[in-house]
């Protein structure tokens, strides 16, 4: 429980902030003409970016793959829009809600797809459910997924197995699989009954980048489809739906894009649109992507403020964001290399790596390590992965600093030294 003094300090820390978009715009202008990799280590640039956030100064936030603080421009817009909507919900909530069509076009540009292929959902889970329940699968049809899909996609298809008699088959991926191994393992597990492959873009809690393009080619060659869980990808890894060529890509905008909580997007390839059932009854035509959005009244303020998150991401620059989180992660990897009792697992191919890694310390469960890092060092990570590499999941974001990475690695070293 926080003392009064602590909560006052936290509140004061979040109160100070100038206009976030102007800050990031000015920083981006100062970096014009420089490569993303050279900007990645420019602390003057990133100090300005950090000022665009109102962070709780009691913590070092390292769970970018979970939920992210919003840039202040998003929070301010949310407050403004909320006041507007509540002052006269009809028309204001509906006017704000209507901005979703503009955001759809902008998000489609970022995802390299047509706006007619992009539904604005509430989160990844909803997108996975739309596809999971909307596909016309029959008794005996098979769905193939890696064991790492356990938490999110798996329960959907497990229910369909109970209700509709489909079969769910698991592909056991090694902890550090190569792209070639991954594709080979899926290929060996496919049968004539396989109708769908489910694969995460970035493996939950590990940061592995799965070979989505190769898996979609495999699925299509065998008459199946590919559903990608992109919760941890879009918003910090630049994506192209055309290049990935998956049939469905479900993501959350409230994760890496830092849009308001309760926002997500689902890509449905145009030639799959008509045959995919919406979860809710709708009067829209079968080939209208908005059929997936008819869920009753939605929050106009929440949807409208997606625009400020897109502004921030575009001004900052997707390549710069990825280069920065990779750079921060590389500091962690170097500092923890060869430290006894410590293991760091992330995408081994540095050219594909994103901003996610798992760190384990022998003798500590992920839960125990999460609590220790939070309570003793103010480090916010997440960890609950019982198994061979139970550890914490660390994902730095653009507001983090090399100094914070050092606090993390020193804390991990001290923890390892304390373990017997």
Ligand X SMILES: Cc1ncc(COP(=O)(O)O)c(C=O)c1O
- Site residues (vs ligand X, CB under 6 A): 66, 123-125, 152, 200, 204, 229, 231-232, 252
Ordered DSSP codes for 27-50: HHHHTTTS-HHHHHT-HHHHHHHH
**Smallest separation, CB 289 to ligand X (Å):** 19
Instruction: Indicate the residue among 160 and 201 with the shorter CB distance to ligand X.
Output: 201
Instruction: Indicate the residue among 156 and 310 with the shorter CB distance to ligand X.
Output: 156
CA distance 10 to 13: 5
Instruction: Indicate the residue among 110 and 231 with the shorter CB distance to ligand X.
Output: 231
**Smallest separation, CB 196 to ligand X (Å):** 16
Distances (CA, A) of 115 to 54, 106, 129, 180: 32, 8, 21, 33
Helices (H), 141-225: 153-164, 179-189, 212-221
Distances (CA, A) of 262 to 20, 257, 292: 22, 12, 15
Instruction: Indicate the residue among 20 and 210 with the shorter CB distance to ligand X.
Output: 210
**Smallest separation, CB 371 to ligand X (Å):** 19
**Smallest separation, CB 215 to ligand X (Å):** 16
**Smallest separation, CB 262 to ligand X (Å):** 9
CA distance 231 to 249: 9
Burial label for 341, CB within 10 Å (0-12, 13-18, 19+), is: middle
**Smallest separation, CB 4 to ligand X (Å):** 33
Half-sphere exposure of 209 (CA within 13 A, CB side): 19
The residues, any chain, with a CB within 8 Å of residue 128's CB and separated by 6 or more, are: 152, 153, 156, 227, 229, 250
CA distance 265 to 177: 28
Distances (CA, A) of 387 to 204, 283, 345, 383, 417: 14, 47, 14, 12, 22
Instruction: Indicate the residue among 85 and 253 with the shorter CB distance to ligand X.
Output: 253
Instruction: Indicate the residue among 124 and 308 with the shorter CB distance to ligand X.
Output: 124
Instruction: Indicate the residue among 40 and 146 with the shorter CB distance to ligand X.
Output: 146
**Smallest separation, CB 323 to ligand X (Å):** 22
């Amino acid at each position: 429980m926080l003392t009064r003094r602590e909560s006052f300090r936290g509140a004061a820390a979040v109160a100070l902030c100038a206009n976030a978009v102007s800050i990031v715009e000015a920083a981006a202008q100062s970096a014009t003409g420089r490569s993303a990799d050279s900007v990645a280590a420019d602390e003057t640039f990133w100090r300005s970016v950090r000022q665009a956030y109102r962070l709780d100064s009691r913590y070092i936030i390292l769970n970018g793959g979970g939920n992210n603080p919003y840039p202040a421009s998003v929070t301010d817009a949310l407050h403004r829009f909320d006041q507007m909507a509540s002052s006269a919900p009809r028309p204001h909530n509906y006017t704000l809600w209507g901005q979703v069509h503009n955001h759809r076009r902008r998000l489609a540009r970022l995802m390299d797809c047509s706006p007619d292929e992009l539904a604005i959902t509430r989160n990844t889970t909803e997108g996975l459910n739309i596809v999971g329940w909307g596909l016309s699968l029959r008794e005996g049809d098979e769905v193939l997924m890696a064991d790492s899909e356990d938490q999110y996609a798996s329960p959907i298809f497990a229910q369909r197995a109970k209700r509709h008699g489909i079969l769910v088959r698991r592909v056991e991926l090694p902890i550090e699989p190569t792209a070639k191994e991954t594709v080979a393992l899926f290929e060996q597990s496919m049968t004539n009954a396989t109708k769908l492959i489910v694969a995460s873009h970035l493996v939950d809690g590990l940061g592995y980048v799965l070979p989505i393009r190769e898996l979609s080619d495999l699925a299509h060659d065998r008459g199946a489809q590919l559903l990608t869980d992109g919760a941890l990808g879009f918003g910090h890894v630049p994506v192209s739906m055309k290049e990935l060529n998956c049939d469905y890509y479900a993501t959350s905008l409230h994760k890496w894009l830092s849009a308001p909580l309760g926002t997500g997007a689902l890509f449905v390839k145009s030639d799959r649109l008509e045959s995919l059932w919406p979860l809710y009854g709708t009067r829209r035509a079968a080939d209208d992507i908005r059929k997936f959005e008819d869920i009753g009244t939605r929050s106009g303020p929440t949807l409208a403020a997606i625009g400020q998150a897109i502004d921030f991401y575009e001004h900052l620059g997707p390549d710069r964001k990825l280069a920065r989180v990779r750079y921060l992660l590389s500091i962690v990897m170097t500092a923890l290399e060869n430290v006894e009792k410590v293991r760091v697992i992330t995408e081994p191919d540095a050219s594909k790596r994103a901003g996610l890694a798992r760190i384990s310390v022998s003798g500590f469960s992920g839960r125990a390590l999460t609590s220790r890092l939070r309570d003793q060092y103010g480090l916010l990570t997440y960890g609950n992965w019982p198994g061979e590499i139970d550890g914490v999941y660390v994902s730095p974001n653009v507001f983090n600093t090399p100094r914070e990475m050092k606090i993390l690695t020193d804390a991990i070293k001290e923890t390892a030294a304390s373990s017997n």
